[in-house]
Chain A
Amino acid sequence: MQIFRHSSADTWKKKPLERRSATDRRPSVVDWITGFSDNNNSNSDWIPRNEDERLTRNGSVCAVEESQPNVSTQHKDLLISQLKKEVKVIMEEAVTKKMMDLNSPYVTSLCVAIDACLMDGLRRRLLGLFSCRSSLALIQILAKQNATAETILIKTYEFEGQTNIGPHLVWIREALHLRSLSTIIHHISTAKNIQRLYDKNSLMLDRAKGGMVAALLLGPCAVTFRRMASEEATAEELVERGGGINCGSYNSTKNRYQNGGVGSGDSTTRPPLSITRQGSSIVSSLDRNGSVSRDYVYSLHHNFKTSLLFGKNNVSVATDNNDQAKGYLSLHKNYDGNLTLKWIPNQLMHASSQPSSAHSNNGEFSNLWKNAIQIDMSEIIYIHLHQKDETSPACLTFVNCEGVQSAPLHLPAGQHTIAFLSSLEAGLAPILRLDPPLWIGSTKEKMLPRLRKRSTAVSASSAMLDYVFRLVRTSGAEPSIPPPNLNSQREIEEEEGDEEGEENGVGYKKGYNVSEMHDRCISLPNSPYIIDNVDSVVNFQIGKACQSMRNQILARAFYGWLSYVRHLRTIRQHLLHLVNTTKENGDESEYEVVDEKFWKECRSNPTAESETEFLRRVYYCGIESKELRRFAWPYLMGLYTWNEQNCEQRLEEYTRRYLNDIEEWRVLETEVRRRDEEAFIAARAKKTATPLREGSIINEVFEDEPTCSHRDDHEHLVVSFMANLHRIDKDVERCDRNLIFFSNKDNLESLRRVMCTYVRRNLEEGYIQGMCDLLAPLLVVFEDEALTLECFTILMARLRENFPQRSGMDKCLSNLRSLIQVVDPQIFQMLTASSDFTHLYFSYRWFLLDFKRELSYECTYKVWETIWSATRLEITENFALFFALALVTNYRDVIVTNNMDFTDMIKFFNEMAERHDCSRILTSSRNHVKCLQNLVQNLK
């Protein structure tokens, strides 16, 4: 086949740059051309064999060809530079991410580069003994004497079947994962028994460069890799990955918690770097080995970076030697919307599926690689199609914006041509389209447009079907590049005008000589049928689009209205009473923290105004220190009234009563201890007793039930107090022992005394787990048992409702449910997606203990005093609800991104305990209160 370059391409090159190449031209165009010219040497399909022109275009390239000092040195340099490039990519990636996915293409291409380095100069004969002619054999040898290598080998076998990359790459990847790759490579380059496997002039034995490989890999070995999909992440990682907690932007680039997450975030968001390098790196490197070609072939498959639009085997292309080579033609749509056409000879396709033979004939392959074709469709403006008749093979030629033609592709006879063109047309949409468009036949199938032949054609071999398709923009500015080969003898169909004819005209004036212009203008009015057809197609499409938009807008409006109405109903039914709207709102910035100075002022002047001021300050900013809380909390909780003067007296009274009570239950305690001892001795006796007879098992097992024939009041009291005492002992023993305060046995004992006294006073209710947790912070603040007990009693009066067998918890859970439903419907939908768990039980502990377990002590104080002041200020009696809501919304991005369900939420919040950003959540909960207040106000 004739290598053909059109003269017009040179002609307009001298003219001022046309519009498209000035604006649209991307760097890859240069790469594309230089890439081909570099390694195709003098046999280029794309560049004429004219050295002068080559020099003017890229003069520097010639230097490489002229001086080739030493083949192996050059090859080593190439390997090292390739490796450097890959390492650089990995390190750049690692900077932006906390951890890298082990399955990412970056890692794979790094592995390929490392493998290439290791394979250089490896004596295959020796490796052949291990029946595996790849770098895997190296690690197998190494594993016999090195424990690290052995671990890697075991891991390799473990994951070998699970990935789509070759085993010789898996071991490199696993070594990288274990961070021992650098060590292993270093070992390979230094170990005596490995060294003999290499040729003298191999890269690994090179004095200067051999160590470089290991050194280069030190960086990637420091990066944390992980298998994203298969490993579970901890709550902390989730929050970190989620870019921290935020109420604002949804960052979709974050990784999924679980595999089965929503949509396909990863595929759309991870920019595949290899795409941008395809043009140069795949075709430019002189030496290719099997792994590269295999990788290239993998890139032909449908994957997450590119989607395969069309594939056809046995498409012929003329090669250098004027003979036809058959190969695989494929059309890909890249993530950026650009189309790429690829053609690869059959031999290379097959070689890639036989890795063992890939290395044996490198020379032959490098020749074949020269023939591989890769065309970026965004550079193409014309597609020529020649076909003898509808049943004969078709010949496709692509012309790029510089007028350079591709080698003609010969598609076999049949519907392949039309199939190719229709997938091309589909792929080009919506930005570009084929001009003339393909026709839609009677049975909805695509067909070639029937165009009227121009009678003025030079040779009227009317049996030929010849088309020139132009790639034009669907709307807006159209690339106005002159068609370069109008002097071809082939019969050309009418270049029909279209709705952008005027635009075309402008373009033509720039690029054309007068005769061509003339030619154009004449042809325009000759094709009214085409214009009509195009118009109707466009009108139809626009009409369809409008219709679907209208439907969508209506649907959205309706659903929006529906959910709004539902929200209002929820608010009316459930949330109306939660907040009090009569109280005016303040702002955090207006108030200051309650400090010692302010507190002294308050005490010296306890007016109603100072009380309100105090409460507001507490609500918005809190109390400054633990010492101040000791004095302020009894007032805040309502133990003392604001203007009460004789507090000391009352405290004395409390203390006296407290001591009395202790004395009373001490008697009971002694009784309980005595019984415990007896029971224990009895149990020991039973243990050592003779084996039981078969028949009486059940009776004997529970024989030691205390038989109380006469249950008088005292007996009842002792039994009841005994049960409670045992529970208290167990819980006091393990109450916040990590706190310094409670690592002191005396403080634990005083916690126990207060708890016992409270339970003795409320024996009917008894001790319930969780009470210790509520009591502990109070004791730490007050450091006075009697005062603690009084305040605890006040606290319990409110919280008792939330304890088991009372209705408070259900109310809290259902109110939180309604709140979430109104504030964040997306979260609500996720949490209630599973019909089994409609209750938000992950918040059970929150309400039971007023968030004491969720927060550190310091934060617990802050939250508690905010809750109390909100009640006192009559802003809301349910501030805890809003804090719970803020806890959920604060992590909404993490929750949504990871598609958390009931169990995930429990795990997440249990792991996040005591790690929340308390002041931030407090601010957010105050805002929620304000929002609901406004909402309710408007509703009224």
Chain B
Amino acid sequence: MSGTRKKALLKVIILGDSGVGKTSLMNQYVNRRFSNQYKATIGADFLTRDVQIDDRTVTLQIWDTAGQERFQSLGVAFYRGADCCVLAFDVTNAASFKSLDSWRDEFLIQASPRDPDHFPFVLLGNKVDLESQRAVSSKRAQSWCQSKGNIPYYEVSAKEALNVEAAFLAIARDALARESQESNDFPEFPDQIRLNPNQQSNSSGSGCNC
């Protein structure tokens, strides 16, 4: 936990309408499997996976949240300290694409990152295996990404493991680059995640005395 070679933990939040496949994407990436028996996510869950980026091992902590906008109020508890936000929509569902704006805005409000204009977002268009039912063209998604400051866009399929690996790797890379840049800019800023273990060991240490 000291020096420059600290083990990085990146908190990634997946957001998007209910049923776009957030849980499937997370499970495909972390456990490399797909199931059609996932239940609707209530509250939040997360999985972690270690990735090697250049010479660093980075732990991705991927948070999967409930998709219904009513549960957005819960976000404040889970969005905090996020390093990257993955917006997901269903290419066969135009409505899920339309609500991306609201997801993005809501995230920026609740997570309140220090530099909202340059906070790393990634857009994933899921379910591209259902090409015949496609309702949102790749072009349209890309235009939206351009309008939001060149957000990277990936067309993925959690079911067929298409592009999922590459997308998350790019996410990790992006967030890591941003993080190192920020730590250079604001070296005194204490990291959200890494602060916790210290505090705990302190408090438990004092607890032992009595």
Least CB distance from B54 to A in Å reads 17
Contact of A687 among B61, B98, B135 (CB under 8 A): B135
Given A770-B42, A829-B207, A836-B192, A683-B68 contact (CB < 8 Å): no
Q: Does B173 count as interface, using CB distance less than 8 angstroms?
A: no
Given A773-B42, A830-B200, A734-B37 contact (CB < 8 Å): yes
**Neighbouring B residues of A770 by C-beta, 8 Å:** 40, 42
Q: Does A159 count as interface, using CB distance less than 8 angstroms?
A: no
Pick the interface stretch among B74-82, B161-169, B181-189.
B74-82
Contact of A837 among B36, B77, B136, B205 (CB under 8 A): B77
Asked if residues A262 and B42 are in contact (CB atoms below 8 Å), the reply is no
Distance, CA A339 to CA B46, complexed state (A): 50
Contact bitstring A748-779, B, C-beta under 8 A = 1, else 0: 00000000000000000000111011000000
Contact of B199 among A687, A804, A833 (CB under 8 A): A833
Given A686-B137, A692-B143, A698-B147, A834-B77 contact (CB < 8 Å): no
Least CB distance from B88 to A in Å reads 14
Interface size on A, residues (CB 8 A): 63
Given A691-B139, A836-B80, A844-B74, A769-B68 contact (CB < 8 Å): yes
Q: Does A287 count as interface, using CB distance less than 8 angstroms?
A: no
Contact bitstring A366-403, B, C-beta under 8 A = 1, else 0: 00000000000000000000000000000000000000
Least CB distance from B100 to A in Å reads 10
**Neighbouring A residues of B135 by C-beta, 8 Å:** 680, 683-684, 687
Asked if residues B39 and A735 are in contact (CB atoms below 8 Å), the reply is yes
Distance, CA A188 to CA B79, complexed state (A): 56
Most buried by A among B78, B197, B200: B200
**Neighbouring B residues of A702 by C-beta, 8 Å:** 98
Distance, CA A684 to CA B134, complexed state (A): 7
Q: Does A910 count as interface, using CB distance less than 8 angstroms?
A: yes
Contact bitstring A904-921, B, C-beta under 8 A = 1, else 0: 001100100000000000
Given A680-B135, A907-B46, A687-B40 contact (CB < 8 Å): no
**Neighbouring B residues of A697 by C-beta, 8 Å:** 143-144, 146-147
Asked if residues B46 and A829 are in contact (CB atoms below 8 Å), the reply is no
Contact bitstring A228-254, B, C-beta under 8 A = 1, else 0: 000010000000000000000000000
Contact bitstring A789-829, B, C-beta under 8 A = 1, else 0: 00000000000000111000000000000000000001001
Q: Does A302 count as interface, using CB distance less than 8 angstroms?
A: no
Least CB distance from A806 to B in Å reads 11
Pick the interface stretch among A69-77, A476-484, A723-731.
A723-731
Asked if residues B94 and A555 are in contact (CB atoms below 8 Å), the reply is no
Asked if residues B73 and A805 are in contact (CB atoms below 8 Å), the reply is yes
Asked if residues A262 and B136 are in contact (CB atoms below 8 Å), the reply is no
Asked if residues A899 and B37 are in contact (CB atoms below 8 Å), the reply is no
Asked if residues B192 and A899 are in contact (CB atoms below 8 Å), the reply is no
**B69 nearest in chain A by CB position:** A804
**Neighbouring B residues of A701 by C-beta, 8 Å:** 140, 143-144, 147
Q: Does A592 count as interface, using CB distance less than 8 angstroms?
A: no
Most buried by A among B19, B48, B192, B205: B19
Contact of A833 among B78, B134, B200 (CB under 8 A): B200
CB contacts under 8 Å to B, within A835-865, are 835-837, 839, 841, 844-845, 848-849, 853
Q: Does B95 count as interface, using CB distance less than 8 angstroms?
A: yes
Distance, CA A226 to CA B1, complexed state (A): 23
Contact bitstring B54-65, A, C-beta under 8 A = 1, else 0: 000000010000
**A263 nearest in chain B by CB position:** B208
Asked if residues B18 and A737 are in contact (CB atoms below 8 Å), the reply is no
Contact of B46 among A683, A735, A849, A903 (CB under 8 A): A903
Contact of A804 among B67, B74, B137 (CB under 8 A): B74
Contact bitstring B134-154, A, C-beta under 8 A = 1, else 0: 111101100110110000000
Q: Does A559 count as interface, using CB distance less than 8 angstroms?
A: yes
Distance, CA A830 to CA B201, complexed state (A): 10
Asked if residues B71 and A687 are in contact (CB atoms below 8 Å), the reply is no
Given A697-B147, A805-B73, A834-B199, A730-B192 contact (CB < 8 Å): no
Contact bitstring A683-715, B, C-beta under 8 A = 1, else 0: 110111001100001101110110000000000
Asked if residues A826 and B74 are in contact (CB atoms below 8 Å), the reply is no
Asked if residues B45 and A910 are in contact (CB atoms below 8 Å), the reply is yes
**A556 nearest in chain B by CB position:** B210
Q: Does A260 count as interface, using CB distance less than 8 angstroms?
A: yes
Asked if residues B19 and A769 are in contact (CB atoms below 8 Å), the reply is no
Q: Does A459 count as interface, using CB distance less than 8 angstroms?
A: no
**B64 nearest in chain A by CB position:** A910
Least CB distance from A688 to B in Å reads 8
Q: Does B204 count as interface, using CB distance less than 8 angstroms?
A: yes
**Neighbouring A residues of B81 by C-beta, 8 Å:** 836
**Neighbouring B residues of A679 by C-beta, 8 Å:** 94
**B78 nearest in chain A by CB position:** A841
Q: Does B196 count as interface, using CB distance less than 8 angstroms?
A: yes
Contact of A730 among B19, B43, B140 (CB under 8 A): B19
Most buried by A among B196, B205, B208: B196
**Neighbouring A residues of B37 by C-beta, 8 Å:** 734, 737-738
Asked if residues B199 and A683 are in contact (CB atoms below 8 Å), the reply is no
Distance, CA A555 to CA B203, complexed state (A): 18
**B68 nearest in chain A by CB position:** A769
Most buried by A among B68, B136, B192, B201: B68
Q: Does A613 count as interface, using CB distance less than 8 angstroms?
A: no
**A736 nearest in chain B by CB position:** B39
CB contacts under 8 Å to B, within A475-518, are none
Distance, CA A607 to CA B210, complexed state (A): 56
Q: Does A18 count as interface, using CB distance less than 8 angstroms?
A: no
Asked if residues B42 and A848 are in contact (CB atoms below 8 Å), the reply is yes
Q: Does B66 count as interface, using CB distance less than 8 angstroms?
A: yes
Distance, CA A698 to CA B144, complexed state (A): 7
**Neighbouring A residues of B147 by C-beta, 8 Å:** 697-698, 701
Least CB distance from B38 to A in Å reads 6
Asked if residues A830 and B94 are in contact (CB atoms below 8 Å), the reply is no
Least CB distance from A234 to B in Å reads 12
Q: Does B44 count as interface, using CB distance less than 8 angstroms?
A: yes
Q: Does A901 count as interface, using CB distance less than 8 angstroms?
A: yes
Asked if residues B134 and A687 are in contact (CB atoms below 8 Å), the reply is yes
Contact of B43 among A688, A735, A837, A845 (CB under 8 A): A845
Asked if residues B66 and A769 are in contact (CB atoms below 8 Å), the reply is yes
**Neighbouring A residues of B39 by C-beta, 8 Å:** 734-736, 773, 853
Distance, CA A149 to CA B99, complexed state (A): 54
Asked if residues B139 and A768 are in contact (CB atoms below 8 Å), the reply is no
Least CB distance from A890 to B in Å reads 20
Q: Does B70 count as interface, using CB distance less than 8 angstroms?
A: yes
**B50 nearest in chain A by CB position:** A232
**Neighbouring A residues of B77 by C-beta, 8 Å:** 837, 839, 841
Contact of B40 among A559, A705, A772, A833 (CB under 8 A): A772
Given A262-B208, A683-B94, A829-B207, A731-B200 contact (CB < 8 Å): no
Most buried by A among B40, B134, B136: B40
**13 pairs from A and B in contact (CB 8 Å cutoff):** A687-B140, A691-B139, A737-B37, A773-B40, A803-B70, A804-B70, A833-B199, A845-B42, A899-B201, A901-B197, A902-B196, A906-B46, A910-B45
**Which 5 residue pairs are nearest across A and B when measured between Cβ atoms?**
A683-B135, A730-B19, A687-B137, A845-B43, A844-B43
List 17 extra interface pairs beyond A680-B135, A769-B40, A899-B200, CB under 8 A. A232-B48, A258-B197, A683-B136, A687-B137, A692-B139, A697-B146, A698-B147, A701-B147, A727-B68, A734-B37, A735-B39, A803-B70, A830-B203, A830-B204, A834-B195, A841-B78, A853-B39
Q: Which residues of B are at the interface with A, using a C-beta cutoff of 8 A?
A: 18-19, 36-40, 42-46, 48, 61, 66-68, 70-71, 73-74, 77-78, 80-81, 94-95, 98, 134-137, 139-140, 143-144, 146-147, 192, 195-197, 199-201, 203-205, 207-208, 210
Q: Which residues of A are at the interface with B, using a C-beta cutoff of 8 A?
A: 232, 258, 260, 262-263, 555-556, 559, 679-680, 683-684, 686-688, 691-692, 697-698, 700-702, 704-705, 726-727, 730-731, 734-738, 768-770, 772-773, 803-805, 826, 829-830, 833-837, 839, 841, 844-845, 848-849, 853, 899, 901-903, 906-907, 910
